[in-house]
Amino acid sequence: MGRCPRGRPGSAARARTRLYPLEVSTVLFQPERLRLARDVEKVSQTALAGAIGVTPAAISQFESGETNPSEDKVAAMADALDVPTSFLYLPMVDMHEGFFRSLRKSTVVERRWARSMAHLVHDLATQPGGASDLAPLDLPLSRVETFDPDAEQVVEAARLVRRSWNVPAGPIDDVVALLEEHGILVVRMPMGSADVDAFSLPFGERPVVVLSNNKSDRGRSRFDAAHELGHLVMHGTSVWGVKEVEAQAHRFAAEFLMPEADIRHELPSTADWARLFELKQRWHVSLAALLMRAKTLGVMSPSAYTTAMKGISARGWRRVEPIPLGAPEGPRRTTALLDVARKDADWFPRALLPALEGLTVE
């Protein structure tokens, strides 16, 4: 379990800024857009400075808003970064770094690239016409006021979402489809070199959940999606960056995918593999998640759990579990945003279209 990186203080207040159709002549250079453009193009401050003939300190001051670049400089930077000049004037809904899991080995550049692509997907969706194929946002919020991962509030939050979305008892058919039906943007992208499984950006009007596309494990990916949903429901822009919120998101995901009331009587008290294989097929979650659930709910003793996990390791199931569940669930609705990027968004960097196409499922 990794940690979530901290964003800049005060960014939550700016998250209320709305995008609007732009007229370049009447809007201001947006310092945060410059950083986003560098992130998405993977260009360092030093490289950009060299390309336009200023010092790296000058770029840093442009990005912090300390100094305002001339129109010529903005045009030169846009050219160097291969983005339309209008991109650097597009009002920005600022957001913290995002809820990243498993950050330890991630490279900052790859992580920031993934985050900036998710930001662009949000920007497309909130442009005029961008939301036409998207469901209206229906996200119940249940802010958790404690860092205690075992707080009843966490479990209650998961139950609240199931109730509020009228999810029938038992296994959830398709977690990604469920998120999309309630207006949450879901994309898959390559994150192998960033060593991140999933993250989310809690934009108020259009939150984004990003899932890795190099994971063949449907069960784990469903858990990732439910984990990120937990962040959006419980933490929003108010808290991130501590390991306790990761534990809370895990508890949320476990209750959301495997409600105690529905699964308790189905779980074995020992490593009954035949039974666990059946449950994996029925609930579409990993064996590891089922065993953890059995332990958390007190159905399986800690020592029986330890024995079971040893069995998992001994059989090589930590790396590849038996009973494959098929391909991960695919986002469907974000495909429409491709058309917005191609036709309606003059500010969208056209060079990014192939990368954007890679985030969608036709």
Give the three-class secondary structure for 208: strand
DSSP 8-state code for residue 207 = -
**Which residue number, 110 or 266, has a Cβ lying nearer to Zn ion?**
110
- The one-letter code for the residue type at 319 is R
Residues 95-114 that bind Zn ion (CB under 5 A): 99, 101
226 lines the binding site for Zn ion (CB under 5 A): no
**Which residue number, 235 or 280, has a Cβ lying nearer to Zn ion?**
235
Residues 112-141 that bind Zn ion (CB under 5 A): none
Give the three-class secondary structure for 188: strand
Site string for Zn ion, 37-76 (x = CB under 5 A): ----------------------------------------
CB of 245 to Zn ion, least distance (A): 7
**Which residue number, 103 or 304, has a Cβ lying nearer to Zn ion?**
103
Among 176, 249, 263, 279, binds Zn ion (CB under 5 A): 249
User: Distances in Å between the alpha carbon of 8 and those of 12, 60, 97, 144?
Assistant: 9, 15, 8, 21
Choose the binding region for Zn ion from 75-83, 159-167, 188-196, 248-256 (rule: CB under 5 A): 248-256
Strand 185-189 vs strand 208-212: parallel, antiparallel, or unpaired?
A: parallel
Give the three-class secondary structure for 195: coil
The answer to whether the beta carbons of residues 39 and 113 sit under 8 Å apart is yes
CB of 238 to Zn ion, least distance (A): 14
Nearest Cα neighbor of 39 from 360, 355, 357, 362 is: 355
CB of 99 to Zn ion, least distance (A): 4
Site string for Zn ion, 277-306 (x = CB under 5 A): ------------------------------
**Which residue number, 99 or 273, has a Cβ lying nearer to Zn ion?**
99
252 lines the binding site for Zn ion (CB under 5 A): no
Nearest-5° Cα angle at 304, 303 to 306: 60
Q: Which residue is nearest to Zn ion (CB)?
A: 99
Where is 89: in which H helix or E strand? none
CB of 216 to Zn ion, least distance (A): 21
CB of 289 to Zn ion, least distance (A): 15
Kindly state the number of chain residues that form the binding site for Zn ion, as judged by CB under 5 A.
4
**Which residue number, 249 or 289, has a Cβ lying nearer to Zn ion?**
249
DSSP 8-state code for residue 329 = P
CA–CA gap between residue 261 and residue 255 (Å, rounded): 9
CB of 213 to Zn ion, least distance (A): 18
29 lines the binding site for Zn ion (CB under 5 A): no
Q: What share of the chain is helix, strand, coil (3-state, %, to 5)?
A: 50, 5, 45
The answer to whether the beta carbons of residues 87 and 33 sit under 8 Å apart is yes
Give the torsion sign (CA, 204, 126, 191, 212).
positive
The residues that touch Zn ion, with contacts defined as CB under 5 A, are 99, 101, 246, 249
